[in-house]
Amino acid sequence: MKCLLCKGMIKGMTNLPFQTGEEYIVVVKDVPALVCNQCGETFVEINILRTVEKIVKKAEMDGVTLGFVKYKEAA
């Protein structure tokens, strides 16, 4: 895959913040992604996003109102 802006992508990591409603803010850290080595634009594959959604839902169900979760440990 190539960056839509610069055409250069490498494997890397990104952090994804989620706010669900007014009460819950969860940041999933170190999510595997393709990162443009020129502009920093990121792309996360759909199967990884589905896992991230499950992580955020579990954090919400566990009562986390503000927190950071590491992708690798929670996936």
**How far apart are alpha carbons 30 and 43 in whole angstroms?**
13
Q: Is 27 helix (H, G, I), strand (E, B) or coil?
A: strand
The per-residue pLDDT for 54 is: 96
pLDDT greater than 80 at residue 4: no
Residue at 4 is within a domain: no
Write the CATH number for 41.
3.10.20.860
The per-residue pLDDT for 1 is: 73
Number of domain units in the chain? 1
**How far apart are alpha carbons 3 and 64 in whole angstroms?**
34
- Give the largest Cα separation in the chain, rounded: 41
Tell me which residue range forms the domain holding 50. Answer: 10-74
Q: What are phi and psi of 47, to 5 degrees?
A: -65, -35
Task: Give 5-51 pLDDT, tens digit per residue.
Answer: 777 889 999 999 999 878 889 999 999 999 998 888 899 999 999 99
